Amino acid sequence: MRVLLTGAAGFIGSHIRRALSEAGDEVVAADLMLAAAHGPAASPPEGVHRADVREPEAMARLLRGVDVVCHQAAVVGAGVDAADAPAYASHNDLGTAVLLAAMAAAGVRRLVLASSMVVYGEGRYVDANSAAVEPVPRRRADLDAGCFDHLHPGTGRPLRWAAIDEDSRLSPRSLYAAGKLAQENYAGAWAAATGGSVTALRYHNVYGDGMPRDTPYSGVAAIFRSALAAGGAPRVFEDGGQMRDFVHVRDVAAANLAAVHRPLPGFAALNISSGVPISILEVAELLARAHGGTPPVVTGRYRPGDVRHIVASPERARALLDFTAAVHPADGLAEFATAPLRSVAAVGAPQWR
């Protein structure tokens, strides 16, 4: 199968490229080589075309003879401030729209889209009777008092987290999240208009070798790793009880391989996760122990807009793609503690023009 892979030189894209090639697929690899992801003056790896998904002519050339597009190219991270918004809208949303138009013109009707858990916003919560409850924003007075859990709006008792599924309400809370939801919406509309198929993979907390080092846009696992490498302690916000799902990048690559080879009708969004919930404090402790470094420090500090808990249900990906993560977080994080990371200067969001 001939696959156009965008973002092929990135953290996740490079693992997907390897998985596709090892499976015998012909990979047309493309990457813009943004300095924010690769450092200044970075050159494409051998076999990777330098290309911008926002350029119709470039996409038309690369789409010749392609059977399916695996779209990973994106500006990542939450967005440090409002000035980043044009970069996210240009590279992620406009780029996806241009790519979809080029696919329609080229007669390519299958897309695997890199989406994210961030489209959900807050996680799913239940009360003491396991009834679903829509959480209200946490109050600053409660946070200042060290009460970090969401409270039931009627009883004032802490709510419990529950696994979130793909039918849950979508409520993006960052620039990146808004863009990811826009990408899903463009792709869904494209599928309806063309009769094409889209599998949107909502990645949960991805980590693994080749992850960028500490930048304003890094994931928390890499930030903890960078602190340990510098001889410091991982600094954990709130009480460390925030629950997440950490999925190894090799499993993310395997999920993309499955999606490429198992087309689903219309638009399908799937959580890609390990299926093993873990707290942020446990992540920091695992990394510190495996690294032989300083134990984490629980700071009690908070960021008012942060999500308290978000944990994935992996059932739909298992049913539709026959995908089950192979790497348990305890094993993967222990490996990640000494895995090579990507050195990238903290250059911030890219130019949007």
Q: Provide DSSP, 288-325.
A: HHHHT-PPPEE-----TT--S---B--HHHHHHH----
In 3D space, the residue among 201, 2, 1, 4 whose CA is nearest the CA of residue 102 turns out to be 4
Report how far apart, in Å, the C-alpha atoms of 324 and of each of 50, 286, 314, 317, 328 are. 33, 23, 8, 8, 11
Domain-located, residue 206: yes
Beta bridge partner(s), residue 48: 29
Domain-located, residue 129: no
Question: ∠ CA(111), CA(71), CA(52), 5° rounding?
Answer: 125
**223 three-state secondary structure:** helix
Q: What is the pLDDT along the chain (353 residues), one digit of tens a residue?
A: 999 999 999 999 999 999 999 999 999 999 998 877 787 778 899 999 999 999 999 999 999 999 999 999 998 876 557 788 888 899 999 999 999 999 999 999 999 999 999 999 999 999 999 999 999 999 999 999 999 999 999 999 999 999 999 999 999 988 889 999 999 999 999 999 999 999 999 999 999 999 987 665 568 999 999 999 999 999 999 999 999 999 999 999 999 999 999 999 999 999 999 999 999 999 999 999 999 999 999 999 998 889 999 999 999 999 999 999 999 999 999 999 999 988 765 455 666 66
Provide the b/e sequence for 92-107 (b: ≥16 CB within 10 Å): bbbbbbbbbebbeebe
What pLDDT sits at residue 173?
Answer: 87
In 3D space, the residue among 303, 307, 304, 286 whose CA is nearest the CA of residue 295 turns out to be 286
DSSP secondary-structure letter at 117? G
Domain-located, residue 144: no
CATH number for 19: 3.40.50.720
Beta bridge partner(s), residue 297: 235
Domain tally, the chain: 1
Domain-located, residue 147: no
For strand 267-272 and strand 197-203, is the pairing parallel, antiparallel, or unpaired?
parallel
Q: What token pair was written down for 348?
A: 């911030």
What is the torsional sign of CA 338, 342, 345, 346?
A: negative
Tell me if 240 sits within 8 A of 280, measured CB to CB: yes
Domain-located, residue 342: no
Tell me if 77 sits within 8 A of 216, measured CB to CB: yes
Question: Where are the strands (E) in the chain, listed by range?
Answer: 2-6, 26-31, 48-50, 68-71, 110-116, 124-126, 132-133, 160-162, 197-203, 205-207, 235-236, 243-248, 267-272, 277-279, 297-298
Q: How far apart are CA 223 and CA 233, in angstroms?
A: 11
The model's pTM is 0.95
Report how far apart, in Å, the C-alpha atoms of 55 and of each of 61, 105, 139, 179, 316 are. 10, 14, 45, 19, 35
233-283, pLDDT tens digit by residue?
A: 999 999 999 999 999 999 999 999 999 999 999 999 999 999 999 999 999
In 3D space, the residue among 277, 300, 290, 209 whose CA is nearest the CA of residue 18 turns out to be 209
Full domain range(s) for residue 178 = 2-124+163-337
Domain-located, residue 323: yes
Domain-located, residue 49: yes
Q: What token pair was written down for 19?
A: 């998985």
Burial of 120 (0-12, 13-18, 19+ CB in 10 A): buried
Provide the b/e sequence for 289-315 (b: ≥16 CB within 10 Å): ebbebeebebeeebeeeebbbbbbbbe
Q: How far apart are CA 290 and CA 283, in angstroms?
A: 11
Q: How far apart are CA 325 and CA 272, in angstroms?
A: 8
